C-alpha cells in the first residue's frame, strides 16, 4: 500500500465529507457527497477490495447521488438554502470523535502492517454469494423489492 496515495485520498475524502456536511447550498452539498463517496471507493481499491469499490461507485455515485439531486430539485420551492444549524450537534460529534480517537490510540496491536494477500477475485465473491451467503442474498432481494414498492407507494399521488 502506498502511503502517498493514502494521504491524498484521506485528505480529499474528509474535505469533501466536511463540505457536504457544512455547505449552505443543497446542490453543492450533494455533489460533495458524491465526491466523498468516490474517495471511500478509492480507499476500498487501496485495501484490495476492488469489487466493493466498484459497487460503491455504481450504487452511491451512480444511483443514490442522482436520487438525492432529484429530490432536491423536486422540493426546491422550500429552501434554496437553509440556515438552521444546531451547534450542540457539532459538540456531540466532536466529543464522540475524541472518544473514538482515544480508544483507537489506546488499543495496542493496531499498528500492524498489511500482510500479503492473494487478490480476491470476483469469481470467489460470486461463489461465496451462491454458497455461504445464499440466504442473506435472497433476503436482500426481498428487502430491495419491498423498499422499491414502498417508495413507489409513498410518492404516488393520492387520487380522490
Partner 1 sequence: MNPTLQLFLIISAALFCIGLLAALSRRHAIFILIGIEMMLAAAGLNFIAFWRFAPQPAPPTGVMVTVFAIAIAAAEAAVGLALVITVYRHYRTTNVDQIDQLKG
Interaction residues for partner 1, span 127-146 (CB under 8 A): 128-129, 133, 136, 140, 143-144
In the complex, what is the shortest distance from the CB of residue 123 to partner 1, in angstroms, rounded to a whole number?
12
Alpha-carbon distance of 82 to 29, in angstroms, equals 12
Site for partner 1 in 60-89 (CB under 8 A): 60, 63-64, 67-68, 70-72, 74-75, 77-79, 82, 84-89
Binding of residue 122 to partner 1 (CB under 8 A): no
Alpha-carbon distance of 45 to 47, in angstroms, equals 5
Q: Which listed residue (8, 25, 80, 93) binds partner 1 by CB under 8 A?
A: 93
Question: Positive or negative CA dihedral for 105, 52, 15, 115?
Answer: positive
Cell of 143: 428487502
Nearest to 26 by CA among 88, 62, 90, 73: 73
- Tell me which residue has cell 422499491: 148
For residues 110 and 159, which CB has a smaller minimum distance to partner 1 in the complex? 110
Distance between alpha carbon 83 and the CA centroid of its chain, in Å?
Answer: 25
For residues 155 and 159, which CB has a smaller minimum distance to partner 1 in the complex? 155
Nearest to 31 by CA among 64, 4, 78, 54: 64
Binding of residue 117 to partner 1 (CB under 8 A): yes
For residues 112 and 159, which CB has a smaller minimum distance to partner 1 in the complex? 112
In the complex, what is the shortest distance from the CB of residue 130 to partner 1, in angstroms, rounded to a whole number?
12
Nearest to 38 by CA among 51, 22, 54, 25: 54
In the complex, what is the shortest distance from the CB of residue 69 to partner 1, in angstroms, rounded to a whole number?
10
What does the per-residue mask of binding to partner 1 show for 5-44, with x meaning CB under 8 A?
Answer: -x---x--xx--xx-xxx---x--xx--x--xx--x--xx
Amino acid at each position: 500500500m502506498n502511503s502517498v496515495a493514502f494521504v491524498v485520498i484521506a485528505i480529499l475524502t474528509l474535505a469533501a465529507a466536511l463540505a457536504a456536511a457544512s455547505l449552505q447550498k443543497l446542490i453543492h452539498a450533494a455533489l460533495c457527497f458524491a465526491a466523498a463517496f468516490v474517495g471511500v471507493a478509492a480507499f476500498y481499491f487501496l485495501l484490495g477490495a476492488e469489487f466493493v469499490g466498484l459497487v460503491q461507485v455504481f450504487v452511491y455515485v451512480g444511483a443514490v447521488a442522482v436520487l438525492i439531486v432529484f429530490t432536491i430539485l423536486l422540493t426546491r420551492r422550500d429552501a434554496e438554502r437553509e440556515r438552521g444549524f444546531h451547534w450542540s450537534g457539532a459538540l456531540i460529534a466532536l466529543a464522540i470523535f475524541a472518544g473514538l480517537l482515544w480508544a483507537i490510540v489506546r488499543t495496542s496491536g493496531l499498528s500492524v502492517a498489511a500482510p500479503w494477500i492473494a487478490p480476491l477475485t470476483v469469481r470467489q465473491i460470486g461463489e461465496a454469494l451462491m454458497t455461504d451467503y445464499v440466504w442473506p442474498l435472497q433476503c436482500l432481494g426481498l428487502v430491495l423489492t419491498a423498499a422499491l414498492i414502498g417508495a413507489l407507494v409513498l410518492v404516488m399521488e393520492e387520487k380522490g
